[in-house]
A = this chain, B = another copy of it.
Amino acid sequence: MKQITKYVIKNSLKRIFLYRACLVRLKRMGVEKVFSFTLGHETGVSAAQVRKDFSEFGIKGNKRGGYEIDELLTIMENIFHKNKDHNIVLIGMGNMGQSLSKYSRFIQRNMNIVATFDIDPFKQKMRSEIQVYPMNRLKEIIERFRVKVAIIAVTEISAQEVADELIRHGIMGIVNFAPVLLKVPQNIVVNNVNLCDELESVIYIVHNNMKADSFKNIELLYKDMRY
């Protein structure tokens, strides 16, 4: 059954990413051990939360000794299957697609965009580090590189169609930059990234803070008047 599946990415998983980034930084600085307190402090998380998260992912430390950074990173690599490479395809070589295809951090983290696709033959001729293929070669490439995850960066209108085709050819996970909720079978993972919403929510909070601030002032004033 096709439907809007909600693979909510758990906060604990997001925090694990935070921890990892922080650990990498600490390691570069020459630090070898951390306590839950330190790691929490650096990532804006309570020490207990760090330990609970670790416990959820089956990570054990040393009583009194804290956690060995190298050891932690190795465990995390295993959790995230960083020992193997991950082949990705990217559909849509418009503005955002092109930028994503050049995004070097993906490679640094063993995620390789092995091929990009576009319906526009002009974009296919474009000189780009990664080959741009026409859509009819999707199946072939996905199979050849055993691709399981795709990035959709096409327009709102064609996103659903592209998703359907990807899934037909064996894609199991999608990062979707198009502002539509994709209808997919239950077992397919979809992560929607909506840049407008990200920006807009900041604007919203900033505005409301400013309003809240003015209320705060009124309250303060009131207190001053009473005492």
Asked if B105 and A200 make an inter-chain contact with CB atoms under 8 angstroms apart, the answer reads: no
Asked if A207 and B96 make an inter-chain contact with CB atoms under 8 angstroms apart, the answer reads: no
Name the contact of A5 in the complex, choosing from B44, B79, B106, B189 (C-beta under 8 A). Answer: B44
Instruction: Provide the bound-state CA to CA distance between A42 and B181, in Å.
Output: 9
Which range holds the interface residue count of chain A? 35 or more
Report the stretch among A13-21, A59-67, A133-141 that lies at the interface: A13-21
* A80 beta carbon closer than 8 Å to chain B: yes
Query: Given contacts A103-B96, A181-B43, is CB(A175)–CB(B204) below 8 Å?
Result: no
Instruction: Provide the bound-state CA to CA distance between A199 and B81, in Å.
Output: 13
Asked if A196 and B43 make an inter-chain contact with CB atoms under 8 angstroms apart, the answer reads: no
Query: Given contacts A148-B206, A149-B203, A203-B80, is CB(A102)–CB(B95) below 8 Å?
Result: yes
* A130 beta carbon closer than 8 Å to chain B: no
> Which of A14, A18, A172, A200 counts the most chain B CB atoms within 10 A?
A200
Query: Given contacts A105-B196, A181-B18, is CB(A173)–CB(B96) below 8 Å?
Result: no
Inside 8 A of A207's CB, which chain B residues have their CB? 81
Inside 8 A of A102's CB, which chain B residues have their CB? 95
